Amino acid sequence: MKKVITYGTFDLFHYGHRRLLERAKALGDHLIVGVTSEDFDKARGKINVQQSLMERIEVLKATGLADEIIVEEYEGQKIDDILRYNVDIFAIGSDWVGKFDYLKQYCEVVYLERTEGVSSSELRAEKRELRLGIVGDELPFLSKFERESHYVNGLSISGLCHLRRHESIPDNLLQLPLLTSNFEEIVDASDAIFLNSTPQQHYNQIKYALMHGRHVLCEPPVSMRRDEWDELMRLAEEKKCLLMDALRTAYAMAYRRLLLLVKSGVIGKVCSVDSSITVQRDTELKGDELINVRNSISTWGANALLPVFQLLGTDYQSKRIITHIENESLKYDTFSKIDFVYPEAVASIKVGKGVKTEGSLVVSGTTGYIYVPAPWWKTEYFEVRREDPSFNKRYFYQLDGEGIRYELVSFIRAVQTGRSYPYISGQVSKAMVAILEDFYNEKDLIRI
């Protein structure tokens, strides 16, 4: 019996896929189809495959063309499969000519002419593009954000709304269709808005965007007060719009795997979570910076709180905010530390723009701890450590584009399907707002 094997993502199964499988099957008596897993696709840069692995397998099964379906999960697996299944022919589309010649030492390699005029990427892009307007003043970051958006099918950046005057706007932002300082104008030109503005501006901006039927992706905290958060979420529901927290860390593979590992009990019961995010501010606040300046807690608070709330929940018994306020009228804190007491655990975060410390994350449990080195919020690496170091384990996950592209893919998918998979739950989102509200009202707060 002659065995043939082929591989692909087979997203949004189309005529080109069918023709390829028919010809591959005709080369022998038994066709094995390797379908790429989500993680493997991500690792090789295909990030917005629309259908899940199971959906793609189901569609393939229904064609009746595959005698056997396997999942491709890692680099180099093809050699393993060819040997394991005793494969005679490896067949693949002509877009890969030459790329798989290294398999010739294991079996025959056949490149089949690719069908012209159809591809999954085109089908994905055919769905109407979502025009996303970006709003904010951290231009180096927004420039990166714009560049990252090119990796995401079905999305285009409609323009930039920035409120501060800038000496130099990065080239890629200058080339956007719209540059304005008028928020209403960017809303008009967009289907959705990304907010990188200050939390003080969020409430009015989100309300305006939602009232006009625009989806919102907002850097947390979503608002300055709990009641505002409730109101905005109600409004989003009423207008059938999405209001989603944008926190890159939450979408990063290493961080998500860490959460799952902890939840599966790898370090026993969690007793303590410690996270720090600090940056050294190199200049004094001056001029334009004094308008809408972001203090430490509103810049980094939500990010530092993320693992605390996601691992221990939001029902803490008590908290204490210890802060050093440098500028009273701006409530500019150069350093803030927040301690939480839970029924059976504690947590502590440190954020600062005028203090430098190790930006690590440590999650301590009854049978070990997880250490994520600085900068933990954009890490690709962490360690599970135990009393006996021979049981330590290291984990690596590549983080492309600091997680921005994954965040955008989740957002656009949620908009398209009307279903959002909560990487950051409503409870966590609101708990972040509550901390900011208490900071400004000086509730549970000690000044140093």
Nearer to ligand CTP (CB atom), residue 14 or residue 226: 14
What track of x and - describes contact with ligand CTP for positions 76 through 95 (by CB under 6 A)?
----------------xx-x
Nearer to ligand CTP (CB atom), residue 232 or residue 412: 412
Contact call for residue 50 and ligand CTP (CB under 6 A): no
Nearer to ligand CTP (CB atom), residue 126 or residue 238: 126
Nearer to ligand CTP (CB atom), residue 111 or residue 440: 111
Which residues are CB-contacts of 152 (< 8 A; sequence separation ≥ 6)? 47, 48, 405, 408, 409, 412
Contact call for residue 10 and ligand CTP (CB under 6 A): yes
Place of tokens 């958006």: 149
Q: Site for ligand CTP (CB under 6 A): which residue of 3, 4, 5, 20?
A: 20
Q: Measured from the CB of residue 239, what is the shortest distance to ligand CTP in angstroms?
A: 33
Tokens describing residue 49: 């495959």
Tokens describing residue 175: 């080339």
Whole-Å CA distances, 225 to 230, 258, 429: 9, 30, 12
Contact call for residue 17 and ligand CTP (CB under 6 A): yes
Nearer to ligand CTP (CB atom), residue 19 or residue 226: 19
Contact call for residue 154 and ligand CTP (CB under 6 A): no
Asked whether 291 and 200 are in contact (CB, 8 A), the reply is: no
Contact call for residue 215 and ligand CTP (CB under 6 A): no
Contact call for residue 8 and ligand CTP (CB under 6 A): yes
CA atoms within 13 A on the CB side of 360: 13
Nearer to ligand CTP (CB atom), residue 11 or residue 72: 11
Whole-Å CA distances, 412 to 50, 192, 222, 415: 11, 10, 19, 5
Size of the site for ligand CTP (CB under 6 A): 16
Contact call for residue 207 and ligand CTP (CB under 6 A): no
Contact call for residue 51 and ligand CTP (CB under 6 A): no
Going edge to edge, which strands form the sheet with 3-8?
68-72, 30-36, 3-8, 89-93, 108-112
Going edge to edge, which strands form the sheet with 243-245?
179-180, 155-161, 130-136, 192-196, 215-218, 243-245
Helix ranges (DSSP H) in 160-225 = 171-174, 183-188, 199-211
* Beta-ladder partners of 160: 134, 179
Count of CB atoms within 10 A of residue 438's CB?
16
Contact call for residue 441 and ligand CTP (CB under 6 A): no
Q: Measured from the CB of residue 176, what is the shortest distance to ligand CTP in angstroms?
A: 26
Q: Concatenated DSSP letters for 297-326?
A: HHHHHHHHHHHHHHHH-S--SEEEEEEEEE
Q: Measured from the CB of residue 128, what is the shortest distance to ligand CTP in angstroms?
A: 18
Contact call for residue 9 and ligand CTP (CB under 6 A): yes
Q: Of residues 118-147, which lie at the interface with ligand CTP (CB under 6 A)? A: 118-121
Piece in contact with ligand CTP (CB under 6 A), picked from 8-16, 299-307, 352-360, 387-395 = 8-16
Whole-Å CA distances, 371 to 274, 315, 382: 10, 24, 6
Q: Site for ligand CTP (CB under 6 A): which residue of 18, 38, 77, 114?
A: 114
Contact call for residue 169 and ligand CTP (CB under 6 A): no
Contact call for residue 309 and ligand CTP (CB under 6 A): no
Given the DSSP bridges, would you call strands 381-385 and 3-8 parallel, antiparallel or unpaired?
unpaired
Q: Measured from the CB of residue 13, what is the shortest distance to ligand CTP in angstroms?
A: 9
Tokens describing residue 3: 């065995």
Piece in contact with ligand CTP (CB under 6 A), picked from 13-21, 246-254, 291-299, 390-398 = 13-21
Which stretches of the chain bind ligand CTP, using CB under 6 A? 8-11, 16-17, 20, 92-93, 95, 114-115, 118-121
